[in-house]
């Protein structure tokens, strides 16, 4: 594989982007990757805390905080960061789906984002929800997107500045995207079923108890919202947080390759579908597979177990 040259002037060791995808395209990722790469396929997709600390006032970036706890932003956030609420801002409020391209344009416009703005996402819980927002922005074709390695956890642990001041940016006129990339990076029930029947890579990133069918939500959460526990037949269990270190940063490329290529059977050129309960944890794994390992054809089944476990006629398996 040809890796991007690292440029310390961009993203704290992040390379000058080979574009993350021009408006009507997904990332151009080579399928010729070594079994155990020594560096990330797309290092430009990550920003380190040291770099961001020196570039908080750059006009061409927008720092975006997105958390599971939607009230956390108000307790303190990175100076200049805007808040994107995964439920109120990214989810349609009438049907279970994402917002329309028109609503996405409005969201970006009111946060002072243009197509040329580099959005740097971060959040709580090892960037679990930041990756969800990142994935949603890619769903609408926004090209310039990065993740703050270590997220909110690492930023706070390092004693870096936090503020309660909510920034105000001039409204922009973000153009309405021509499409949503549903076919390219999103999987639906029928496609997940076909993936299962064809024995293609299917990764369940929930907790082991959820995978085995012992619980229907993460152990520390209310056990509600789905009628049956278990997993999609043929799915491999690999909890999403396996990809992170104790400080919430991502593990090195060679370790990630051992986890996903060796243990989960994913490989270049073969379709892979990832899922969890509502598609949020699996967006983290989607980011790892797509940007850090450079795999093509990875899609996030956001209907996930909430849909599968409630759907009449959907086959399930229980146990390890």
Positions annotated as catalytic residues are 276
Per-residue CA distances from 165 to 52, 93, 133, 156 (Å): 18, 28, 22, 17
d(CA 317, CA 279): 19
CA dihedral over 124, 219, 308, 285, signed as positive or negative: positive
User: Could you tell me how many residues make up the chain?
Assistant: 320
The end-to-end CA distance of the chain, in Å, is 35
Q: Which residue has the tokens 């155990």?
A: 36
Q: Are 156 and 162 in contact (CB under 8 A)?
A: yes
Strand order in the sheet with 46-47: 46-47, 145-148, 118-122, 61-65, 82-83
Residue 171, C-beta contacts closer than 8 angstroms, at least 6 positions apart: 109, 110, 112
């Amino acid at each position: 594989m040809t890796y991007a040259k690292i440029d310390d002037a961009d993203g704290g060791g992040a390379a000058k982007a080979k574009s993350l995808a021009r408006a009507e395209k997904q990332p151009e990722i080579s399928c010729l990757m070594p079994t155990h790469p020594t560096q990330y396929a797309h290092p430009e997709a990550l920003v380190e805390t040291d770099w961001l600390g020196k570039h908080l006032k750059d006009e061409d970036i927008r720092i975006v905080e997105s958390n599971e706890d939607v009230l956390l932003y108000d307790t303190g956030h990175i100076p200049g960061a805007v808040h994107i609420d995964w439920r109120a801002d990214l989810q349609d409020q009438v049907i279970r789906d994402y917002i329309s391209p028109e609503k996405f344009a409005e969201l970006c416009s009111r946060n002072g984002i243009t197509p040329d703005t580099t959005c740097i996402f971060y959040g709580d819980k090892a960037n679990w929800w930041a990756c969800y927002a990142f994935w949603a922005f890619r769903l609408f074709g926004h090209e310039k997107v990065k993740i703050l390695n270590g997220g909110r956890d690492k930023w706070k642990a390092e004693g870096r500045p936090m503020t309660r001041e909510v920034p105000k940016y001039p409204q922009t006129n973000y153009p309405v995207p021509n499409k949503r990339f549903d076919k390219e990076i999103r999987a639906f029930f029928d496609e997940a079923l076909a993936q299962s029947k064809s024995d293609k890579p299917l990764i369940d990133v929930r907790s082991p108890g959820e995978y085995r069918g012992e619980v229907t939500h993460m152990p520390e959460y209310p056990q509600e919202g789905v009628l049956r526990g278990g997993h999609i037949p043929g799915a491999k269990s690999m909890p999403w947080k396996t990809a992170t270190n104790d400080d919430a940063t991502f593990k090195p490329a060679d370790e990630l390759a051992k986890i996903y290529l060796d243990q989960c059977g994913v490989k270049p050129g073969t379709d892979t579908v990832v899922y969890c309960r509502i598609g949020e944890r699996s967006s983290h794994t989607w980011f790892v597979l797509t940007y850090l390992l450079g795999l093509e054809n990875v899609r996030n089944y956001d209907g996930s177990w909430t849909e599968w476990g409630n759907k009449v006629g959907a086959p399930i398996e229980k146990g390890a």
